[in-house]
Structure 1
Amino acid sequence: MNAAGWWGRLRGLLEGGLGAADDGCLWCGGVRRGGGAATRLRRICGACAAEVPWIEQVQCAACGRGEPCPDCVRRETSFIVANRSAVQYTPFMKEWLARYKYRGSEKLAPMFGEMASYAYGKLRETWGDVARGVTVRTILTFVPLSERRLEERGFNQAETMARYVASRYRVPVVPVLVRTRHTEKQSYKSRRERLESLERAFALREDGALELQRLLAEGPLRVVVVDDVYTTGSTMQRCGEAIASAAADGAGALRVYGLTWAR
């Protein structure tokens, strides 16, 4: 299934009020008593919600980690102003992502979207213009998959989260990036291997570059790149570098931010 088809299915789930007539927890199947708005996740039970490791306090202002971050300390140049994530990437969260991303559990999509929306709210807190009531045009984009990976998986989890956040905050989603080559899964690689693997792995789409330049001609622009997991930041940095090339001629102010489900 292509990305448009997947989003159509996700939208159908959302508009259909997933879980509205079913008291079952989306994760464990138990009764959802004790969940609700107080837990930020309306579709899971209180017991499962209590296990979600929300990132409430940020220790690293750059990547949004809940503890001091050696990766950001050693990085000399950053193409990302800041990143914010919803949860810590614990074993429990890894199992959530595996069920959704690799086992095709589509019913979890709205839950991941809600969590990404929480992270977006945290990211907005870092924007001084929001507090001052100043308007800076903001768009969402997402880390693209290779054609091979998209065919294998049937959807791009980063795109579905981006579109969920967009629907909540009324921010446009603009696909601006393309993956120039297929790369193997990054989760099994060392930091050095990640850096080497992702070198020149992303570029601007032709239509994406034109749209960025059009928006920059109108004034300052903020681009938020959505992905599922921020590990060393290699993927986000390479995406930020590609996007920054749109403003290489100095036409307008461009700031790139990261938004990930887990850190």
Structure 2
Amino acid sequence: MADATMPDLEPHGGEEHTQSIGSRLNWLRAGVLGANDGIVSTAGIVIGVAAATTNRGAILTAGVAGLAAGAMSMASGEYVSVSTQRDTEQALLAKERRELHEMPDEELAELTAIYEGKGLSAELAREVAVQLTHHDALGAHAEAELGIDPNELTNPWHAAWASMISFTCGALLPLLAILITPVTARVPVTAVAVVVALSLTGWASAALGDAPRWPAVVRNILGGLVAMGVTYAVGRLVGPHV
């Protein structure tokens, strides 16, 4: 009878595959957002400078400087942020290990209560907690109590490199668009290229999150147009006085 009522507690390949896909989707979303930042910030810089001067060297210098600064800022920001998250996760896991060692009965009762709260009967919740604790006590408690997988902690270096690379790829589009276009068409051609790119990143970010596509695309485009409009206005206003 116990075999008929007990859930299968062993990990399934399908579940591991789903977790792996979820992890990859998180990185893909981060990459799309990094590329989006690179597109918008670099477009704003080069369009602002182009509004102030037609000097290709000045535009190139400003664009490359903005690309480098933005990529390093994204990388360092992600590294610091994810390192802090990882430190917190490790501290919580260390605390959980200590509690499992010092008060195993209390921890077992806590895990049982968690599964009771999810709808299992008291008897079944106790049996689930016992089996999970026997199989992997830290993993069971970390997942149920903290929402942490001890084997899947965030990696700050991965986050830093992903952000740097995606930002750089996004930033190259407006920079190249404005440099290879004739002077009279620089701003409109770059703006069109940015709108197309933002449409793609907005669509991709929504698709990866299984969210409505068009609202994300419209928000992305409007944000980019506002950023370019503001920096263009600043360039036109400040440029003649420099």
Name the TM tier (shorter chain). under 0.3
Q: What TM-score do you get using the length of structure 1 for normalisation?
A: 0.23
- Using CA pairs below 8 Å that are at least 6 residues apart, which structure has the higher relative contact order? 2
Q: What TM-score do you get using the length of structure 2 for normalisation?
A: 0.24
- Say which structure is richer in strand: 1
- Say which structure is richer in helix: 2
Which of structures 1 and 2 has the bigger CA Rg? 2
